[in-house]
Amino acid sequence: MNKLIATALLTSALAANAAPTMLLGNLVSVNGTSNSAVVNMPNQTVSFQPFSFQNGGLTSTNDVTLHVQLSTDGTNYNTVNSYKFTTTNAASVNYFAPSTNITVYMRVQAVTTNATLLGGSYGN
């Protein structure tokens, strides 16, 4: 699922028109691994289906916080919404998380086996 989210975000981000952004410069020498400038892509909106949460009874409503998190790599997650039960009684609740905007960043990584002159930009 995370790969699907990442693919959808990257596809829609790359399809967006952007003003030209210098990535590598005008023919700079690269020897080994070099990362280009980072490009801030247009915000992507993620909408959620309803969540159904249950608990078997709590001592305090502060006992549990449920974090809704997103990732583009399945390893690093960012919290985009949180939920706390509003009662200490055993309960089953539906949580309708609001849609959220996430920012996607893009860069180009050049890997060379010897010194090579490279240049490049991104966008129209």
| 11 vs 89, residue with greater confidence | 89
12: in domain: yes
The parent domain of residue 29 ranges over 2-112
121: in domain: no
118: in domain: no
Whole-model pTM above 0.85? no
Q: Does the pLDDT of residue 38 top 60, yes or no?
A: yes
Q: Looking at the 3D structure of the chain, how many domains does it have?
A: 1
Spatial distance between the Cα atoms of 86 and 95, rounded to a whole number of angstroms: 11
10: in domain: yes
73: in domain: yes
124: in domain: no
102: in domain: yes
Sorted by sequence, the CB contacts under 8 Å of residue 13 that are 6+ apart come out as 41, 42, 44, 104, 106
**Confidence tier at 8 by pLDDT (50, 70, 90):** very low
117: in domain: no
